[in-house]
Amino acid sequence: MKAAVIESVGRAVVSEVPDPTPGPREVVVEVAACGLCGTDLHILQGEFAPKLPIVPGHEFAGEVVGVGTQVTELSVGDRVAVDPSLYCYECRYCRTGHNNLCERWAAIGVTTAGGAAQFAVAPVANCVKLPEHVRTEDAALIEPLSCAVRGYDVLKSQLGAHVLIYGSGTMGLMMLELAKRTGAASVEVVDVNPARLETARRLGVAGSAANADELDRPQGWDLVVDATGNAAAIQDGLGRVAKAGTFLQFGVADYATRVTIDPYRIYNQEITITGSMAVLHSFERAAELFATGVLDPAVFISDRLPLTDYPRALEQFAAGVGRKIVVVP
Ligand SMILES: [Zn+2]
Ligand SMILES: [Zn+2]
C-alpha cells in the first residue's frame, strides 16, 4: 500500500510499504481521510516519536475492510473513527484513571503506524462507529475534537465565564465552538494571523484582535486558553487571567519553550494554571458531539489533498496556511 513515511528528522516521503495485518482484537481500516496537526510537525522535528521511520497520522476515519480472529463487535463495511490512544492499563497512571499520562504512553501514528496511509490497523476498542449521516471523510475531525473535549474536562464550570482563546487555528476554533456550548458569557479570540481570525469571526465571537490590548476587559478573563504553543502568546495570556481565573495550556509548545510566571499574583489572586494532554475518555463523547453538528466540516477542513502530496501538505501546515488539512488516500 501507499503510505506517508517520516523517514528521518526533517524528511517525509510517500512510499510503498507492506499492507498491515490485524491482530486478533484489531481491525484494518481503509482510510477515508487523515488530518495533519502540530504533533506531526513535532515528529518531523524529531520529538514525540521514539523512533523513526514512522507512518504518521493519528486523526483518521475510514471503513473496516478486515477484522481479526476475535473481533465480533465490528464487521467489514462498518465506518469508524479511530481513537489513536494506546495505554498499558498497568502503570500507576492508568490504574488511577490518568491513562493519557501512561508511563508507556503510545499512540497510533506516533509510536505505531498511523492513518496517513491507504490502510491502518486499530484495536477494536479504539474504534467508534459512525452514524449514517456523518461522512467518513469528515470524521477525521473527531480526534482533535476529543482533545478539545479533554481540555474542558480538566476545567471547572464555564457557566457565565468570560473566555479568551489564543490562536484560531483548528484547535483554537474547536475550543471556541465548545466554549459556546459550555455556557460562557463571552468568548474572545486573539491571533496574529488575520486570515485565521476571520474564520473565528465567521463562527461568532464577542471580540477578536491581533493583540488582547485591543479587547476591552481590563479585569481580565475567567478562563484563558492557549491554543498556540507559542511562548509570546502564552506569556501574554498568563497576564490576562482574572482574579480566581484559570489558564489552560492546551497548545503544544516545543520542549525548549520557557515563560515566566508571577508567583505572588498566583497566590494573591488565586489563579490556577493547568494543562490538558491529548485524549482521555473523551473520544466517544467527541464522536457524539460531532454527530450533533458541533463543528461545520466545511469550515474546519480547509484542504483535502491527495495522500501523495503528504510532504507538501506538511509544509503548508507548517506555514500556517489554511485550517485542518486532511490527506485523502
Ligand atoms: Zn492531532
Ligand atoms: Zn499505563
Confidence grade of residue 244 (pLDDT, cut at 50, 70, 90) = very high
Cα of 94 vs centre of ligand 2, distance in Å, is 4
The letter for the amino acid at 197 is L
- What is the C-alpha to C-alpha distance for residues 268 and 246, in angstroms, rounded to an integer? 14
Q: What is the DSSP string of 263-297?
A: HHHHHHTT-EEEE--S-SS-HHHHHHHHHTTSS-H
pTM score of the predicted model: 0.96
Q: How far is the CA of 324 from the centre of ligand 1 (A)?
A: 10
The answer to whether 103 and 66 have CB atoms below 8 angstroms apart is no
pLDDT tens for each residue of 131-155:
999 999 999 999 999 999 999 999 9
Q: Which amino acid is at 93?
A: Y
Q: Which amino acid is at 226?
A: D
- H helices within the chain, ranges in order? 38-44, 92-95, 142-153, 170-181, 194-203, 231-238, 263-268, 283-291, 297-300, 310-318
CA angle 124, 297, 176 (to 5 degrees): 100
- Cα-to-centroid distance, 141 and ligand 1 (Å): 9
C-alpha grid cell for residue 170?
483548528
CA-nearest of 287, 285, 281, 251 to 102 is 281
Q: Are 75 and 67 in contact (CB under 8 A)?
A: yes
Ligand nearest the Cα of residue 145 is 1
Average pLDDT over residues 237-266: 96
Q: How far is the CA of 20 from the centre of ligand 2 (A)?
A: 25
> Is the per-residue pLDDT at 255 higher than 90?
no
Tell how far the Cα of 99 is from the centroid of ligand 2, in angstroms.
Answer: 6
Lowest-pLDDT range of 38-42, 73-77, 138-142: 38-42
Ligand with an atom nearest the CA of residue 324:
1
Residue 48 pLDDT: 80
| 106 bridge partner residues | 86
State in Å: Cα 187 to ligand 1 middle. 23
pLDDT greater than 80 at residue 49: no
Per-residue pLDDT band for 65 (boundaries 50, 70, 90) equals: very high
Average pLDDT over residues 65-80: 98
Any long-range contacts for 265-269 (C-beta under 8 Å, 24+ apart)?
Answer: 269/241, 269/242, 269/243, 269/244, 269/245
**What would the mean pLDDT of 248-272 be, rounded to a whole number?**
96
